[in-house]
Every structure is written in structure tokens, then in C-alpha cells.
């Protein structure tokens, strides 16, 4: 083989063949590493949302939560005062523990209602933006499409529509009771 490579013509042919194999392998590697980009999922299909910012941007949501919680606490306090009037201390302690458990259940229910509203807004925005995954911004160090403002705007629209509907219902109730 050494004698065959010793010929200048054979060296040129071997060099061209080796270069051709090298170029072909580099081209094949490039094609394989690119994959099927036409059918690949978009790289920005992950959204991030700052839920704390969404809630603070939507003051009516937080105020509604606080209002419901205060109404529940006031109602339960009146109920406790009425029931505890003729009770012993031990009975009052048991009643207090029972009512505290009821209050915690009600608080959890109110919090879930608020979380469901935020989740609904997140789902709506994610669907419109074509996002397949949305995570809390606090869990993300880098990357993702920030949809916080869009979620805040969507939630503000839905809570204002809900508030308007509640006002309309209240007005209908007031007008029907005054007739």
C-alpha cells in the first residue's frame, strides 16, 4: 500500500476521496443534528407568571377576598357570642375549636375560589398565546415567556364583568323588593 501511495497521482486521489468522505460526514451530522425543525415544537411554548403580582395588580380580587373573610369572621363571632352566653368554660373552648375549624374551612374555600379565578385567567392567556406549560415566575431562573401582564389584564376584565353582573343582580333584587 505504501508503494501505491508513493505515486503522486494516487496521493491526490486518496486526498480527494478522504476530503469527500469528511465533507459528506459533516453534512450528514449537520442534517441529523437539526432534526425535523418544521414539525418541532416552538422553543417559546413555556410561559411564566408572577401570581403575587397578578393579585396585587387586581386590587378588587384581594379586597373581595378580605371582605368575604371579614364577613365570615364577623358572622361566626356573632354566632359564637350568642351560643356561648350560657355555656361553661369547657363548652366554650369546644365551641371555639369547632368554629375555628369551620372558619378555616371557609377560608380555604374562599382562597380556592380566588385561586380558581387566577388559574382561569392563566389558562385563557396560555391558550391564546399557544403555551403548553405555565409555571410560577418564582420557580424560574431564566427563560420562558412572561405572561404576567396579560393574565392581570384578563383577570381585571373578568372581575369587572363579575362585579357588573353582581351590581345588576343586586339592582334587580332591590327593584323587585320595592314593588
For the chain, what are the domain ranges? 2-34, 46-172
Predicted confidence at residue 157, as pLDDT, reads 87
Q: Which of 124, 146, 159, 141 is nearest to 51 (CA)?
A: 146
Query: Which residues fall within 8 angstroms of residue 79, CB to CB, at 6 or more apart?
Result: 99
Decide if 72 contacts 110 (C-beta within 8 A). yes
Decide if 111 contacts 131 (C-beta within 8 A). no
Higher per-residue confidence, 124 vs 179: 124
115: left (phi > 0), else alpha (psi -120 to 50), else beta?
A: alpha
pLDDT of 48 above 90: yes
Summarised one tens digit per residue, pLDDT across range 62-106 is: 888 889 999 999 999 999 999 888 888 899 899 999 999 999 999
Instruction: State the Cα–Cα distance between residues 49 and 44, nearest whole angstrom.
Output: 14
Instruction: State the Cα–Cα distance between residues 55 and 114, nearest whole angstrom.
Output: 9
Instruction: State the Cα–Cα distance between residues 131 and 146, nearest whole angstrom.
Output: 11
Cell digits of residue 132: 403548553
Predicted confidence at residue 38, as pLDDT, reads 47
This prediction's pTM? 0.58
Q: Which CATH class is domain 46-172?
A: alpha beta
Instruction: State the Cα–Cα distance between residues 56 and 80, nearest whole angstrom.
Output: 33
Using the 8-state DSSP alphabet, how is residue 47 labeled?
E
pLDDT of 13 above 90: no
Longest dimension (CA), the chain: 118
Amino acid at each position: 500500500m505504501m508503494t501505491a501511495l508513493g505515486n503522486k497521482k494516487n496521493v491526490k486521489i486518496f486526498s480527494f476521496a478522504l476530503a469527500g468522505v469528511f465533507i459528506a460526514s459533516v453534512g450528514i451530522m449537520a442534517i441529523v443534528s437539526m432534526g425535523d425543525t418544521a414539525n418541532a415544537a416552538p422553543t417559546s411554548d413555556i410561559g411564566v407568571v408572577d401570581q403575587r403580582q397578578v393579585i396585587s395588580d387586581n386590587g378588587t380580587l384581594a379586597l373581595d377576598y378580605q371582605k368575604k373573610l371579614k364577613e365570615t369572621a364577623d358572622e361566626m363571632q356573632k354566632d359564637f357570642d350568642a351560643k356561648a352566653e350560657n355555656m361553661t368554660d369547657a363548652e366554650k373552648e369546644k365551641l371555639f375549636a369547632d368554629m375555628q375549624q369551620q372558619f378555616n374551612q371557609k377560608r380555604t374555600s374562599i382562597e380556592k375560589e380566588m385561586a380558581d379565578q387566577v388559574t382561569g385567567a392563566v389558562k385563557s392567556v396560555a391558550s391564546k398565546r399557544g403555551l403548553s406549560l405555565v409555571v410560577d415566575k418564582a420557580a424560574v431562573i431564566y427563560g420562558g415567556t412572561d405572561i404576567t401582564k396579560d393574565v392581570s389584564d384578563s383577570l381585571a376584565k373578568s372581575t369587572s364583568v363579575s362585579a357588573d353582573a353582581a351590581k345588576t343582580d343586586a339592582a334587580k333584587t332591590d327593584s323587585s323588593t320595592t314593588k
